[in-house]
Amino acid sequence: MRLGALLASAALIGACSQPAEEHNAIELDPESIVSGSRFLTAETQALQADDFANPGFLWVDRGEALFSEPTENGSACVACHEKGLPGVAATYPAFDTETNSVLNLEGRINQCRVKNQNAPELAYESDPLLSLTAYVAYQSRGALVSVDSSGPSRETYETGRQYFQTRRGQFNLSCQQCHTENWGKRLRGDTLSQGHGNGFPAYRLEWQSMGSLHRRLRDCDTGVRAEPLPYGDPLYIAVELYLAARSNELPLESPAIRR
Ligand code: HEC
Ligand code: HEC
């Protein structure tokens, strides 16, 4: 069945069934895990691979500059992180014992700003936070996702898994139906990927900008006509953890290019 037909029938079913019902849980076959870049055109893949042409590097470069800039009342990131933060992004989201919660990379960077730089948090999706996140993520490019979803992170992981597997919106579709059950099929000019976060922050041609994973999740929720969650919402952080654990062993690609 073409996915357009799936969407059309899902909309019909959605009209007469309960919203937000949980769907049969299906996990990706670990043997089949592939990055979203696999489903891009050769031209877009080439743009991602070319560090001079890849527009994501505008953010990486701005992030690098910010990394060595002191704040008004504190030292620069580089003063404490002299060797940068290689490999760190591959381990996020991660449990933080100080706040007793799972933090994603954006949250961890903001925590360091407040605690170690005497500076206010940067707004989610603001250019400086995107740039710093892109720069830190870039230092893990090629590193394999290795996120811990056990122990104190387990509850958050389960919350994220449930969000992923629950139908929502007017189309009454779950993330799982598109990204676990139908990846590889065409949908409105895209080929559905498995929905991994390993390219983020990513430059989307449609946005003409770098954007966080949460921006992508908001687009997916909006796509099924569900109300998107606010940036940085704990529920999106839980989804982010589930996605990362689901993509363990996949190489990080940020700054990736996406359609
Ligand atoms: C109606 C189908 C559909 C649903 C439902 C859906 N998405 Fe997507 N999603 C897409 C399409 C289309 C894209 C862009 C092409 C691609 O990468 O799959 C995308 C992209 C993504 C990406 C980026 C992948 C990459 O490599 O760039 C992630 C992550 C993602 N979706 C996660 C989710 C999550 C989490 C949910 C549930 C909250 C969800 N999606 C629901 C269709 C869907
Ligand atoms: C005054 C020193 C100091 C400054 C300035 C500082 N950090 Fe940190 N950072 C630390 C210390 C110490 C830790 C680990 C302990 C902790 O949680 O504070 C850390 C931890 C981190 C981590 C988590 C590392 C991991 O392995 O999980 C990230 C990411 C990070 N910092 C990013 C930044 C960024 C980005 C900036 C600038 C915006 C910055 N830090 C500024 C001292 C600093």
Alpha-carbon gap, residue 132 to 85, rounded angstroms = 11
Whether residue 160 sits in one domain with residue 132: no
Q: Whose CA is nearest to atom 36 of ligand 2?
A: 77
Please give the C-alpha separations between residue 155 and each of 21, 176, 190, 196, in angstroms, as whole numbers.
20, 19, 33, 20
Other Cβ atoms less than 10 A from the Cβ of 230: the count is 11
CATH number reported for the structural domain that contains residue 235 in this entry: 1.10.760.10
Overall size of the chain counted in residues? 259
| 55 Cα to the center of ligand 1, angstroms | 22
pLDDT at 146 over 90: yes
Q: Are 187 and 178 in contact (CB under 8 A)?
A: yes
Alpha-carbon gap, residue 110 to 85, rounded angstroms = 15
Q: Which residues line ligand 2 (CB under 6 A)?
A: 74-75, 77, 79-81, 85, 88, 108-109, 112-113, 115-117, 132, 136
3-class SS of residue 117 = helix
**Would you state the pLDDT for residue 251?**
98
Domain end marker among 73, 107, 138: 138
**Residue to substitute in 64, 72, 81 for testing ligand 2 pocket (most ligand atoms within 8 angstroms of CB):** 81
**Would you state the pLDDT for residue 221?**
98
Backbone angles phi, psi at 170, to 5 degrees: -60, -30
Q: Which are the contacts of 59, defined by CB distance < 8 A and separation ≥ 6?
A: 127, 130, 131, 134, 135, 201, 203, 210, 255
Q: Please state, for a pLDDT cut of 70, what percent of the chain lies above it.
A: 91
**Would you state the pLDDT for residue 162?**
97
**Would you state the pLDDT for residue 222?**
98
Whether residue 107 sits in one domain with residue 16: no
The yes-or-no answer on residue 16 being catalytic is no
Whether residue 196 sits in one domain with residue 119: no
What value does the mean pLDDT take over residues 151-169?
A: 98
Q: Six-digit token pair at 211? A: 């954007």
Q: Are 94 and 88 in contact (CB under 8 A)?
A: no
**Would you state the pLDDT for residue 98?**
97
State the total domains in the chain. Answer: 2
Other Cβ atoms less than 10 A from the Cβ of 125: the count is 18
Alpha-carbon gap, residue 149 to 249, rounded angstroms = 14
**Would you state the pLDDT for residue 5?**
58
**Would you state the pLDDT for residue 188?**
86
**Would you state the pLDDT for residue 3?**
57
Whether residue 151 sits in one domain with residue 251: yes
- pLDDT tens string 174-203: 999 999 999 999 998 899 999 999 999 999
Whether residue 156 sits in one domain with residue 76: no
Whether residue 73 sits in one domain with residue 105: yes
Whether residue 154 sits in one domain with residue 248: yes
Residue pointed to by tokens 């743009």: 47
- The residue range of the domain holding 172 is 3-50+145-258
pLDDT level of residue 22 (50, 70, 90 thresholds): low
Whether residue 27 sits in one domain with residue 155: yes
pLDDT level of residue 23 (50, 70, 90 thresholds): low
pLDDT level of residue 13 (50, 70, 90 thresholds): very low
Whether residue 78 sits in one domain with residue 151: no
Alpha-carbon gap, residue 230 to 218, rounded angstroms = 8
Nearest 5°: the CA angle 96, 239, 222 is 140
Whether residue 232 sits in one domain with residue 166: yes
**Would you state the pLDDT for residue 4?**
59
Domain end marker among 115, 138, 161: 138
Whether residue 61 sits in one domain with residue 46: no
Looking at every residue in the chain, the average pLDDT score rounds to: 93
Domain end marker among 107, 138, 169: 138
